[in-house]
Amino acid sequence: MKTNEPGNHDEALRKVLKEWRTNAALPPGFQEAVWRRIERADSAPAPTAPSVWTVIAHCIGTVLPRPALATAYVAVLLAVGVTAGWAQARQETARVRGELGERYVRALNPYQTPRQ
C-alpha cells in the first residue's frame, strides 16, 4: 500500500502543512500553560504496580462472575467443606468410641474405677 510508505506519507503531510493557514490568535499564556503541563507530567510519580486488594477486587468484579469459573469456584469450596466435615467427623467418632471403650473397662476394673 502506497500510503503506508513513510516517504509518501511525509511528503503529503508536508504539503498540507505548507498550505495550512490560520488567523486565530492563541489564548494569553498559552505557551506557559503548555510548559507547565509538561513539567507537571514529568514530575508526576511513575504509575505503580496494582495493590493486592486492587487485583482481588478486579477478580471478584470481572473474573469470578464468568459462569464456568463461578461454577468451578462453588464446586471446589463445596468439596473442601465436605472433605473437612468428613475428616473432622471421623476423628471425633474415633475419639468418642475410644473414650466409651475406656469407660467400659474402667467400670469393670476395680483398680481403674473412678471413686466417688
Partner 1 sequence: MKKGLLILLLGLVAAVGAYGCIYFACTAPVRSLQRSEKPELAWLKEEFHLSDADFKRVSELHAAYLPQCRDMCREIDAHNVKLQSLLSGATNMTPEITTALAESSRLRSECQTMMLSHFFQVSQTMPPEQGRRYLSWVKAKAFLPDYGMPNEK
- What residues line the site for partner 1 (CB under 8 A)? 57, 59-65, 70, 73-74, 76-78, 80-82, 84-86, 88-90, 92-93, 96-97, 100-105, 107-113, 115
Name which of 41 and 100 has its Cβ closer to partner 1: 100
Q: How far is the CB of 99 from partner 1 (least distance, A)?
A: 9
| For partner 1, the closer CB: 50 or 101 | 101
Q: What is the SS3 assignment for 19-76?
A: HCCCCCCCCCCHHHHHHHHHHHHHHCCCCCCCCHHHHHHHHHHHHCCCHHHHHHHHHH
**Residue 33 to residue 39: CA distance in whole angstroms:** 10
Complex with partner 1: residue 43 or 62, whichever CB lies closer: 62
